[in-house]
């Protein structure tokens, strides 16, 4: 098996022996395969449907081969590739481990954290737009674009293009491993993604020659990885939690008769007093102390160092717990919010599934278990960093074999959907967490005498006033019969 490359190109960070020692202690190697070897061409007429998971730090791909889920390695034997896209001076795009080497020396020509840009405007991006180590510009419609300096001049890329390059790289890895062309895939996304962000994922099909047959929520994929749907006699409420930097997600997945359904989800993007990813700024300061350089000179190295170190297992997690000041109690409040969405209590949860590269932080794990009054099974046999890929590959296998009854997924609305009524009030038509597809209707009336038309404006969001929610669209209903206000009845139906 090939070893992971450890070549660190000298560049703006001024790497030295002290930093090398630090990174070695943290464990640089990404998860590696014990039997990373190609398989023979499949005798089936159609190739398998692969599973893909795109993370902020790492991405991976898997497939079911001979009744076993395999996470497919890259050319260096790594089971996950860094979620990095770099560009050479001539404009050639490089993805994964090779891109990481370029990132360390030319961060302005490399892109990380692109998933945070999908479907976002400047107002929605928070501090990420200002902290990125590459240049982000905004088009006239408010959408972000990434400007990369090349030998021939600056070139602009939309985040969706960067996403497509990573998906294409994972597709290529799968094709080399399986020995056949891949046509279809199941891809995972955060449960908190809205319709615009989901659409960006789906639209990559046109540029990757890969049909995304299903876009599934990451918590659902995590619960599927452990075959928790196999006991058809028992309903389950599975708590899936993910800690990624300063963002904590908690989701309740309800499983009954083989059907997975998102019951409640909640998120906090600031469970830490630090505004950077977990340990990024601290690692930069450690580098500064070791090298005698200023923090500002190495600040741009925080993201590369985080990506290098995100794969370190026990050592990094202990370091994270020591140096990071994330608020565990606030994280537990997120768990409680997810439960309250469907009127659940801590007594209803039957299983716990950690997901993500920070999910095993000891302090969080111990407090989470203490939060529940009874002992719960915590499923940790699968590497939490690869768990969503396992679940996506399993779902791909079910779709490939046309056995949807073995394991079915029921999606749900992530936001309330409603219309604007008098006074700018948000009148909810579809509640958050409603299984889809669904049809809902409300009856509305006029507010003035002899009113002949009604403006219908649809919003999504959880706030009471439409000014604080997101507008989805509008239409005009005219030719109403003149009548006193309150007499006409108009039925408004919403189909998510």
Q: What is the DSSP string of 95-135?
A: ETHHHHHHHHH-GGGEE--GGGGTT--TTTSTTHHHH-SSE
CATH number of 17-219+273-310+395-403: 3.30.420.40
Burial class (CB in 10 A: 0-12, 13-18, 19+), 333: middle
- Residue 121 has a pLDDT of 75
- Residue 266 has a pLDDT of 83
Query: Do the two domains 17-219+273-310+395-403 and 417-494 of this chain adopt the same fold?
Result: no
What does the H/E/C string look like for 421-471?
EHHHEEEEEECCCCECCCCEEEEECCCCCCCCCEEEEEEECCCCEHHHCEE
Burial class (CB in 10 A: 0-12, 13-18, 19+), 262: buried
Nearest to 452 by CA among 475, 481, 476, 474: 481
Q: What is the DSSP letter of 272?
A: B
- Residue 441 has a pLDDT of 74
CA distances from 106 to 89, 96, 125, 300, 313 (A): 10, 15, 24, 10, 27
Local confidence pLDDT in tens for the 496 residues of the chain: 433 333 333 333 433 333 323 333 333 344 555 344 444 444 445 788 999 999 888 899 999 988 899 999 999 999 999 899 999 988 899 999 899 888 878 888 999 888 888 887 766 666 666 677 888 888 877 788 899 999 889 999 989 999 999 999 999 999 999 999 999 999 998 877 877 788 888 888 778 889 988 888 898 899 889 888 776 668 899 999 987 656 788 989 888 877 888 887 888 766 655 434 433 333 433 443 444 444 444 444 555 555 555 544 444 554 555 445 567 888 899 999 889 877 899 999 999 999 886 666 777 888 888 999 888 999 988 988 899 999 999 999 888 876 544 455 666 676 788 888 888 888 888 887 676 667 777 777 777 888 877 778 888 887 888 888 878 878 787 777 788 877 777 665 555 5
Strand 408-410 relative to strand 259-268: parallel, antiparallel, unpaired? parallel
Burial class (CB in 10 A: 0-12, 13-18, 19+), 488: middle
CA distance 470 to 466: 7
Burial class (CB in 10 A: 0-12, 13-18, 19+), 110: buried
CA distances from 283 to 128, 129, 244 (A): 19, 21, 16
Instruction: Indicate the fold that domain 417-494 takes in CATH.
Output: Substrate Binding Domain Of DNAk; Chain A, domain 1 (2.60.34)
Burial class (CB in 10 A: 0-12, 13-18, 19+), 231: exposed
CA distance 68 to 341: 36
∠ CA(124), CA(127), CA(133), 5° rounding?
120
Q: Is there a contact between 41 and 180 (Cβ–Cβ < 8 Å)? A: yes
Which residue in the block uniquely carries the two structure tokens 């190295």? Answer: 301
* Long-range contacts, 111-114 (Cβ 8 Å, 24+): 111/84, 111/85, 111/86, 111/146, 111/148, 111/157, 111/162, 112/56, 112/83, 112/84, 112/303, 112/304, 112/307, 113/56, 113/83, 113/303, 114/83, 114/85, 114/146, 114/159, 114/162, 114/163, 114/166
| 252 token code pair | 């309740």
Longest Cα pair distance anywhere in the chain, in angstroms? 83
CA distance 341 to 192: 14
| 486 token code pair | 């309150």
Q: Is there a contact between 261 and 435 (Cβ–Cβ < 8 Å)? A: yes
What's the CATH number of domain 227-272+326-380, 3.30.420.40, 3.40.109.10, 3.40.50.1820, 3.30.70.20?
Answer: 3.30.420.40
Q: Is there a contact between 280 and 356 (Cβ–Cβ < 8 Å)? A: no
- Residue 173 has a pLDDT of 96
Q: Is there a contact between 222 and 260 (Cβ–Cβ < 8 Å)? A: no
pLDDT (tens digit per residue) in 369-389: 899 988 899 998 898 889 999
- Residue 240 has a pLDDT of 93
| 253 token code pair | 């997945």
- Residue 350 has a pLDDT of 93
Domain ranges of the chain: 17-219+273-310+395-403, 227-272+326-380, 417-494
């Amino acid at each position: 098996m090939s070893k992971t490359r450890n070549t660190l190109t000298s560049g703006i960070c001024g790497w030295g022996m002290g930093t090398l020692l630090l990174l070695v202690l943290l464990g640089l190697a990404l998860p590696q395969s014990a039997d990373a070897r190609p398989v023979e061409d499949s005798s089936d007429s159609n190739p398998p449907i692969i599973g893909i998971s795109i993370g902020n730090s790492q991405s991976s791909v898997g497939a079911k081969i001979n009744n076993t889920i395999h996470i497919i390695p890259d050319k260096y034997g790594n089971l996950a590739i860094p979620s990095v896209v770099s560009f050479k001076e001539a404009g050639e795009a490089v993805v994964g481990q090779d891109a990481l080497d370029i990132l360390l020396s030319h961060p302005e020509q490399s892109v990380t954290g692109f998933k945070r840009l999908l479907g976002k405007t400047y107002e929605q991006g928070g501090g990420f737009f200002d902290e990125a180590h590459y240049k982000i510009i905004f088009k006239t419609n408010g959408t972000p674009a990434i400007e990369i300096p090349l030998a021939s001049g600056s070139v602009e890329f939309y985040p969706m293009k960067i996403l497509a390059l990573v998906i294409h790289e994972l597709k290529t890895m799968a094709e080399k491993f399986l020995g056949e062309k891949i046509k279809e895939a199941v891809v995972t996304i955060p449960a908190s993604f809205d319709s615009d962000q989901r659409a960006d994922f789906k639209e990559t099909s046109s540029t990757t020659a890969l049909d995304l047959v299903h876009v599934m929520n990451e918590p659902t994929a995590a619960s599927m990885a452990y075959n928790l749907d196999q006991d058809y006699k028992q309903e389950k409420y599975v708590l899936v939690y993910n800690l990624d930097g300063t963002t904590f997600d908690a989701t309740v997945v309800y499983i009954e008769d083989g059907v997975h359904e998102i019951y409640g989800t909640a998120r906090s993007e600031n469970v830490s007093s630090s505004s950077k990813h977990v340990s990024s700024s601290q690692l930069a300061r450690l580098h500064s102390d070791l090298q005698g350089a200023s923090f500002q000179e190495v600040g741009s190295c925080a993201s590369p160092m985080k990506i290098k170190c995100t794969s370190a297992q026990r050592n990094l997690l202990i370091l994270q717990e020591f140096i990071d000041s994330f608020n565990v109690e606030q994280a537990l409040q997120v768990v409680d919010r997810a439960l309250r969405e469907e009127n659940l209590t801590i007594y209803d949860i039957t299983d716990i599934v950690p997901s993500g590269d920070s999910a095993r932080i000891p302090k969080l794990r111990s407090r989470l278990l203490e939060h529940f009054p009874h002992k719960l099974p915590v499923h940790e046999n699968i590497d939490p960093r690869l768990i969503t890929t396992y679940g996506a590959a399993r779902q791909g296998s079910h779709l490939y074999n046309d056995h949807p009854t073995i394991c079915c997924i029921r999606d749900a609305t992530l936001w309330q959907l409603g219309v604007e009524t008098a006074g700018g009030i948000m009148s909810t038509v579809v509640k958050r967490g409603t299984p889809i597809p669904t049809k809902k209707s409300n009856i509305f009336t006029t507010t003035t005498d002899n009113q002949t038309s009604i403006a219908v404006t649809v919003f999504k969001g959880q706030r009471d006033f439409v000014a604080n929610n997101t507008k989805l669209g509008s239409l005009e209903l005219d030719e109403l019969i003149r009548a006193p206000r309150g007499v006409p009845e108009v039925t408004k139906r919403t189909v998510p």
